[in-house]
């Protein structure tokens, strides 16, 4: 089992230890989702989804209002902001102490969420590539930043992605972008290899098999494989019938040193974390 590297991140003025992996529950505000049960586009559904992930023991809530599934075309910034305002108000009323991440690639959306609603973290699928103001914005906002690798853009990213060596290419890319953030004084950067974003089935499993190589970056590692096509395509099933496969991959990711798992199914992931953490404490 891969030893878990020790990191802390500054969340709303306090240090959050990642010595025990964290579960990040997905709250998806878009109706355009590859996994419909996670979608919460109305106030009533936001309340319901929020209660479920809180009751199941999530450590963080990742809120997104712009679909980034393969083939998606997204929404306007105004539509994204409107949906986020609705959801963030509900979250702050129901769970004011919750650690909230917002899944956005737009700098103006990030600014609104942090400055108006006290959001703790920004999760950017494009590592600043889809809005060239994002890195400067994160440096000004001084919040942790999840930086994901993606080849292309969501609308076309699954059209014949190519790599020399997918793991080496992802590590090299993330190292370069992290250096640009460090040059701006950004301290809390979390890396995400971007399973399913501009990668074939073989690319995804090569990444998972060599996941420990991402620790060369010396930054916390987030993994998001929940109910993705690397599960249901391999098993010839559907996103709705992919919990067992997702659980298997989450367990592997934990054993390879993942610090944060981004998931639809908080309870199942919470159990994975507890079991792997127990094993790690028995044999550090």
Q: Which residue's structure tokens are 């914005």?
A: 137
Is 256 known to be catalytic? no
Quick check: 65 and 75 in contact, CB under 8 A? Answer: yes
Catalytically annotated residue among 106, 228, 256, 280: 228
Is 52 known to be catalytic? no
Quick one: three-class SS letters along the chain?
CCCCCCCEEEECCEEEECCCCEEEEEEECCCCCCCHHHECCCHHHHHHHHHHHHHCCCCEEEEECCCCCCCCCCCCHHHHHHHHHHHHHHHHHHCCCCEEEEECCCHHHHHHHHHHHCCCEEEECCCCCCCCCHHHHHHHHCCCEEEECCCCCCCCCCCCCCCCCHHHHHHHHHHHHHHHHHHCCCCCEEEECCCCCCCCHHHHHHHHHCHHHHHHHCCCEEECCCCCHHHHCCCCCCHHHCHHHHHHHHHHHHHCCCCEEEECCHHHHHHHHHHHHHHHHHCC
Catalytically annotated residue among 106, 227, 262, 270: 262
Indicate which residues carry an active-site annotation. 228, 262
């Amino acid at each position: 089992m891969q030893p878990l590297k020790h990191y802390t991140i500054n969340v709303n003025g306090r240090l959050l230890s990642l010595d025990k992996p964290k579960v990040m529950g997905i709250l998806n505000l878009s109706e355009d989702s590859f996994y419909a049960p996670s979608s919460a586009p109305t106030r009533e559904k936001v309340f319901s989804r929020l209660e479920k992930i809180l009751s199941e023991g999530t450590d963080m809530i990742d809120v997104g209002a712009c679909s980034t599934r393969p083939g998606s075309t997204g929404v306007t910034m105004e539509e994204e902001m409107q949906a986020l305002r609705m959801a963030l108000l509900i979250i702050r009323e129901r769970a004011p102490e919750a650690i909230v991440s917002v899944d956005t690639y737009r700098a103006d959306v990030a600014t609104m969420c942090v400055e108006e609603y006290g959001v703790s973290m920004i999760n950017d699928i494009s590592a600043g590539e889809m809005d060239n103001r994002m890195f400067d914005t994160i440096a000004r906002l001084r919040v942790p930043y999840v930086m994901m690798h993606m080849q292309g853009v969501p609308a076309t990213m699954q059209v014949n992605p190519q790599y020399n060596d997918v793991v080496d290419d992802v590590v090299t890319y993330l190292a370069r972008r992290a250096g640009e953030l460090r040059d701006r004084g950004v301290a809390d950067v979390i890396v995400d290899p971007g399973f399913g974003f501009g990668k074939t089935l073989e690319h995804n499993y090569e990444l998972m098999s060599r996941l420990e190589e991402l620790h060369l970056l010396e930054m916390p590692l987030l993994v998001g494989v929940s109910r993705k096509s690397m599960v249901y395509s391999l098993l010839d099933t559907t996103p709705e019938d992919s919990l067992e496969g997702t659980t298997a991959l989450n367990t592997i990711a934990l054993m390879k040193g993942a610090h944060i798992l981004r998931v639809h199914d908080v309870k199942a992931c919470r159990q994975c974390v507890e079991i792997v953490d127990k094993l790690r404490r028995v044999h550090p």
